[in-house]
Amino acid sequence: MLITLGLVLAVSAASAVGTRQARREQTGLKGPGIIDICSSCGPNSPLREARVSTLVHVPSGESFDFSLAAANGRDRVGLRLTAGSAVLFSNVGGHETRLGTGSRNTSRTISLDGWKKVELDWRGNNIFYRVYDSQAARPGAPLGGFTMDRLDVLPRKLHIAATGGTTIDGTAITHVVAGYPAGPGQLPTTASQGIYFPANKKVVPVPTWLSLSPSLPAPILDSDPDLVRLYNNTWQILLSKNILQPRPSSPLVRTYVDSGFDPTIMFQWDTLFSLQYAIYAHGGFDAIASLDNWYVVQGPTGEIRRAYNSRTGAIHPWAAGPNGVNPPLFAWAELAAFRQTADIDRVKRVLPALRAYADWVSVQMWSQASPHQLYWNNGNGNGMDNLPTQLGQGGDGGTNGVANVDMSSQMVLMRNSLAELEDAAGEGDRAADHRAWADAIAEKIRRLAWNEEDGRFYELTASGAQWKVDSLAGFWSLLAGVASPAQASRLRAALTDASRYWTDMVFPTLSQTDSRFDPKGDYWRGGVWAPTTFATIKGVQQTGDRALARAASERYLAGIRDAFDYSGTLFELYAPFKQSSAYISASYTGEKTGLLRPIVLPNVTLSGTHVAPGTDEKGSALNSRGGSDNLAKDQFVGWTGLAPITLLLENVIGIEADSPRGLITWDLQRTDRHGIANLNLGKTGTLTLIADARASPSSHTHICIIGEVSKSLTVEVTVGSTKVKMTLAAGAVNDCSSTATWQRG
Ligand SMILES: *[C@@H]1O[C@H](CO)[C@@H](O)[C@H](O)[C@H]1NC(C)=O
Ligand SMILES: *[C@@H]1O[C@H](CO)[C@@H](O)[C@H](O)[C@H]1NC(C)=O
Ligand SMILES: *[C@@H]1O[C@H](CO)[C@@H](O)[C@H](O)[C@H]1NC(C)=O
C-alpha cells in the first residue's frame, strides 16, 4: 500500500543556509511546488552555486521532477526520475529538452526501490546530480552532469513536480547557495570572459639575466660546474625569447611565460609545464601570474580551452570542438607555486576560477554514459599528437565514450591539488568534496583499466574493454597517486627495463615493445619529451622511490647536456637512443619555419655516439647525407627547461621546499660540496643550504644553513633510511656548526 505525501508548497527559505521544513502530509499533488532559495538575491544576482536535495519515493509508474528554476518560476533545468531511470532535462519557454547526447548522455538506469536521496548541484552553469539510497553515504562522483552552454536558466528557485503516487519528505528539502556579488556587469553572458577572476592589467618589464639572476636560487655543485652553466644558460634562453608582454590592446593582463612556438598563440599545456620551473624565479619575476591570462579569458561556464589568440583573447580555431581541452593541470601548477611562495592571498584569488574550470572539464571530458564513466582526450587535446590511441589525433570521445588513463589520472591530480588549495584557504568542506570525487575516479581506474597480466593501465573502449598500447599515458597513474603500491612497483619495473623504457634518454613516450616505436623519436612514437618525462619522474618520486627518480633525472639531464655540448641549445624533444656522429652532423632543425640549420656548432667536430634531438611527426626517413631534415625545434625553453632547473634542484641536488608547511626536505646523496644558495621561500624567507664534501655517500658531513625565516622551519635530511630533522627558529639563521652538524648513523 502506498502512503502518498504531497508537496510542501509554502516553503520559505533564507539564502545561504540549509533549511529543514516541517513535514506536511497531503494526498496528491496540486501543481508544482516552487521554493525561493535565494530570497536575498537581487535581480542581477543569480546563483553561482546551489546544492538542493530531498528524500523521495517514486513508485513504479510515477515520476518526480526536481529542478532549479529562473526567477519566473517556469524556466528550469533539473532531474526527472521515472521508473528505472534518471535524466537531466531543461524546460525553457515551454520547450523541453533532454540533456546530453552520445557519451555525454545524462540518462542513467537506476533502481528506485525505497526512499532515495536526490541532489542537484549547480555550479556556474554546470549541473550535476546524485541519486542514492537514503541510508547510504553521499557518493564521491555524481551520476550525471551537463554544462548549459547558453545561459538559459539563471537559477533562483527550486521547482518540484511529481505525479500523485510519488512521496516526498518535505522535512528533508535542503539547500545551500552562493550568489554572484550583486550589481550590473556581473551577469554572465556567453560573451563574458573572466567573471571568476576580476583582474586589472598590470604588465611588468621582461626581466633580463642581469636583473633576474641575483634573485634566482643558485645551485652549488662543486664537482659539476657544467650543470650550473647549463642551469644558467637555460634561464638565459628563456629570458632572451620566451617571456612576453601582452600588447596594450590585448585583453591579457600579465607579462607571461610563453611556450616558444608562436607569440600570437598562448598554449596551455606548454605554459603549465614551463611554470613548473619558471616559478623558481618568483623572487624576481612572478611567473605563476602567467596563468592570470588564462583566467581572464575563461568563459562563464568555466571553460578554458587549450589555445587562445594572445592579441584578442579569442579561442584559437585549433582549440575548437573535441580538440580543445588540454590535461587539466592549472591546480597542480598553482599548488607547486604555493609550495614555494606560501602566497595564500593568490590561492584565495584563483580558487573560484579553478573550481569553475574543474566543473566544466569534468563534464566536457566525461564519458558519462559508458560503463566505466571515466574521462577521454584525443591527441590534439592530450598534447601527444601522434601517440597511438583509440581516438587518434582528432577523435571525439564525447560521441564514442572511450576512456584514457592519462586524462582520467589528470582529473584525479586536479581534484587532489584543488583539495590541498581549498584546505589551505580554510575551505575544508570543498576539499572533502574534491577528494571524494578524486577517490571515486581513482578507484575506477584501478579496477577497470589495470591489466594484471601485463602490469599496465590501458585505455578503455566505450564498452569497457581494455585497448592495449603500452605508452607513458598509463604512467600518469603514478603522479596522480592512483596506482596501488603493487601496481606502482610493476610500473617502476617497466621504467627500468632496458627492453621497454630504460633507453639512453629516459623515458620514451612509447614502449620499445610497440612495433611503431622509433629509436629516432618520430614525435610521440618513442620521442623523449620534457612533460611526460617530468611527470613520470615526479610520479616515481611520489611512490617513494627517490633513488629511481634521481637516477632517471641524472640520466635525462646527462643526455640534454650531451646534446647541449655540441649544439649550444636545448631541444623540444630527444631521440630515445644515441645516434652516430655522422647522422647528427648531417641533420637539421628548423624544418617548420622553412629555415634549415645544422644542429652541430661550426667549431665542434663530433665523434662517437651522442644523444640527438628527436625527429618530428614527419618521421625518420634519412636525407641524402644520411641525417634527418626533420629534427625537433631548438632553443626550446620551453618545457625542456624542466630538467636543467627543476629536476636539477629537486632530484639531483635533492632539495624541495614546502613553504606553507615550513618544511624543507633534502634527499642527500651526493658526495661533493653541494646545495642551493638563495632558495627563496616567498613569505617564509630565504635560505642557503650547503653540505660539505665527503668521502662516500655513507660518510658523515656537515650542513650549513644560512638566511632569514619569518617562522620556525623544519629541515628534514634523508640519507638512505636515516632521517635527521633540524629545526630553525624564526629570525636570522646561521647554523653551520652546532645544531646543523650531524653524523650519519
Ligand atoms: C540516452 O540513453 C538512453 C538509454 O539510457 C536512450 O534511451 C536515449 O535515447 C539516449 N539519448 C540520447 C539523446 O542519446
Ligand atoms: C651562473 O650565474 C650566476 C649568477 O650570475 C653566477 O654567479 C655563476 O658564476 C654562474 N655559473 C656558471 C657556472 O656559469
Ligand atoms: C664554440 O662556439 C661557441 C659559440 O658559438 C662557444 O660558446 C663554444 O665555447 C665553442 N666551443 C668550442 C669547443 O670551442
Output the CA 107–ligand 1 centroid distance in Å. Answer: 6
Distance from the alpha carbon of residue 429 to the mean position of ligand 1, in angstroms: 34
Q: What's the CA gap between 25 and 30, in Å, rounded?
A: 13
Q: Which backbone phi and psi does 46 adopt, to 5 degrees?
A: -70, 170
CA of residue 641 to ligand 3 center, whole Å: 21
**pLDDT band at residue 160 under the 50/70/90 scheme:** very high
Task: Please identify, by atom number, the ligand 3 atom nearest to the C-alpha of residue 604.
Answer: 13
Same domain, 634 and 711: no
pLDDT for the residue numbered 58: 94
Q: How far is the CA of 225 from the centre of ligand 2 (A)?
A: 9
Q: Taking 60 as the threshold, does the pLDDT of residue 562 lie above it? A: yes
Strands 663-667 and 713-719: parallel
More confident of the two residues 22 and 567: 567
Higher pLDDT, 408 or 19: 408
pLDDT band at residue 190 under the 50/70/90 scheme: low
Of all protein residues, the one whose alpha carbon is nearest to atom 1 of ligand 2 is 232
**pLDDT for the residue 152:** 73
pLDDT above 70 as % of the chain = 92
Pocket of ligand 2 (CB under 6 A): 213, 218, 225, 228-229, 232
| Ligand 3 pocket, residue 738 CB under 6 Å | no
Nearest CA to ligand 1 atom 10: 105
Using CA atoms, how far apart are residues 153 and 2, in angstroms rounded to an integer? Answer: 35
588 and 672 co-located in one domain = no
pLDDT at 655 over 90: yes
Mind listing the pLDDT tens digit for each residue in 241-262?
Answer: 999 999 999 999 999 999 888 8
Same domain, 687 and 559: no
For residue 605, the Cα-to-chain-centroid distance in whole angstroms is 43
Q: Based on the fold, state whether residues 427 and 532 are members of the same structural domain.
A: no
Distances (CA, A) of 15 to 39, 161, 537: 6, 22, 48
What's the CA gap between 265 and 316, in Å, rounded?
Answer: 7
Looking at the fold, whether 387 and 524 belong to one and the same domain comes out as no
Calpha distance 381→414 (Å, rounded): 16
Ligand 3 atom 12, closest CA: 603
How many angstroms does the Cα of residue 286 sit away from the middle of ligand 2?
Answer: 22
Average model confidence (pLDDT) for the chain? 91
26 lines ligand 1 (CB under 6 A): no
In a domain, 5, yes or no: no
**Residue 138, in any domain of the structure:** yes
Q: What is the pLDDT of residues 633-646, one digit of tens each?
A: 999 999 999 999 99
pLDDT for the residue numbered 5: 35
Q: pLDDT band at residue 153, thresholds of 50, 70 and 90?
A: confident
pLDDT of residue 724: 86
Q: Name which residue sits closest to atom 7 of ligand 3, judged by CA.
A: 568
Confidence of residue 43 (pLDDT cuts 50, 70, 90): low
Q: Tell me what pLDDT residue 15 has.
A: 30
Instruction: Answer yes or no: is 734 within a domain.
Output: yes
Query: Per-residue pLDDT averaged across 126-152, rounded?
Result: 93
Compute the distance from residue 630 Cα to the ligand 1 centre, in Å: 47
Nearest CA to ligand 1 atom 2: 107
Q: Residue 566 CA: which ligand is closest?
A: 3
Angle (CA) 93 97 101, round 5°:
150
User: Closest ligand 1 atom to the C-alpha of 106?
Assistant: 1
Ligand 2 atom at minimal distance to the Cα of residue 218 = 3
Sequence letter at residue 343: D
Same domain, 569 and 646: yes
C-alpha dihedral sign at 406, 411, 415, 417:
positive
Ligand 3 pocket mutation, candidates 603, 606, 607, 635, criterion most atoms within 8 A of CB? 603
Q: Looking at residue 44, what is its pLDDT? A: 63
Q: How far is the CA of 651 from the centre of ligand 2 (A)?
A: 20
Among residues 415, 142, 180, which one has the least CA distance to residue 300? 180
Nearest atom (ligand 3) to Cα of 603: 1
399 lines ligand 1 (CB under 6 A): no
Torsion of CA 412, 415, 417, 419, to 10 degrees: -140
How far apart, in Å, do the first and last CA atoms of the chain sit? 75
Asked if the structure places residue 188 within a domain, the reply is no
Which cell numbers in the block locate residue 29?
499533488
3: pLDDT strictly greater than 60: no
Residue 520 pLDDT greater than 70, yes or no? yes
Residues 6 or more apart from 87 whose CB is under 8 A from it?
A: 79, 80, 98, 99, 106, 107, 108, 144
Is 106 close to ligand 1, i.e. is its CB under 6 Å away? no
Is residue 731 located within the same domain as residue 698?
yes
Final residue before a domain boundary, out of 483, 509, 524: 483
Q: Which is the closest atom of ligand 1 to the Cα of 85?
A: 5
Q: Are residues 174 and 60 in the same domain?
A: yes
What per-residue confidence (pLDDT) applies to 178?
A: 78
Q: Which atom of ligand 2 is nearest to the CA of 232?
A: 1
Mean pLDDT on 731-736? 86
Considering the domain architecture, whether residues 503 and 451 belong to the same structural domain is answered as no
Q: What pTM value is reported for the model? A: 0.94
Together in a domain, 687 and 739: yes
213 inside domain: no
Q: Is residue 513 in contact with ligand 1, taking CB distance under 6 Å?
A: no
For residue 741, is pLDDT > 70?
Answer: no
Q: Is the Cβ atom of 603 under 6 angstroms away from ligand 3? A: yes
Of all ligands present, the nearest one to the C-alpha of 105 is: 1
The number of CA neighbours under 13 Å toward the Cβ of 340 is 27
- Cell triple for 155: 537559477
Q: Which of 5-9, 91-95, 354-358, 437-441 has the lowest mean pLDDT?
A: 5-9
Q: How confident is the model at residue 40 (pLDDT cuts 50, 70, 90)?
A: confident
Is the pLDDT reported for residue 739 higher than 70?
no
Decide: 370 in ligand 1 pocket, CB within 6 A.
no
Asked if residue 241 is part of any domain, the answer here is: no
**Model confidence at 45, in pLDDT bands (50, 70, 90)?**
low
How close is the Cα of 610 to the center of ligand 3, in Å?
18
Residue holding cell 566505450? 462
671 alpha carbon to ligand 2 midpoint, in Å? Answer: 21
Distance (Å, whole) CA 561 – CA 546: 22
Whether residues 525 and 543 share a domain: the answer is yes
Over residues 710-718, mean pLDDT: 93
Answer whether residue 666 is part of any domain.
yes
Nearest ligand by distance to the CA of 601 = 3
Q: Which of 632, 652, 672 is where one domain is finished?
A: 652
Dihedral Cα 483, 487, 490, 495, nearest 10 deg: 0
Cα separation, 666 vs 663, in Å, equals: 10
Q: From the CA of 569, how far away is ligand 3's center (Å)?
A: 12
608 sits in the region (left: phi over 0; alpha: psi -120 to 50; else beta) called left
For residues 444 and 373, the answer to whether their CB atoms sit within 8 Å is: yes
pLDDT (average), residues 441-448: 98
Residue 702 sits in which domain range?
653-744
Cα 465 to averaged position of ligand 1 atoms, centre (Å): 21
Query: At which of 652, 681, 716 does a domain end?
Result: 652
Whether residue 601 has its Cβ less than 6 Å from ligand 3: yes
- CATH label of the domain that carries residue 42: 2.60.120
Region for 479 from its dihedrals, namely left if φ exceeds 0, alpha if ψ lies in -120 to 50, beta otherwise: alpha
Cell of 634: 631548438
Separation of CA 386 and ligand 1 centre (Å): 33
Mean pLDDT of 475-504: 98
Query: Is the same domain home to 630 and 521?
Result: yes
Please count the structural domains in the chain.
4
- Tell me the CA–centroid distance for residue 222 and ligand 3, in Å: 23
| Residue 352 lies inside a defined structural domain of this protein | no
For 316-325, the pLDDT digits (tens) are 999 999 999 9
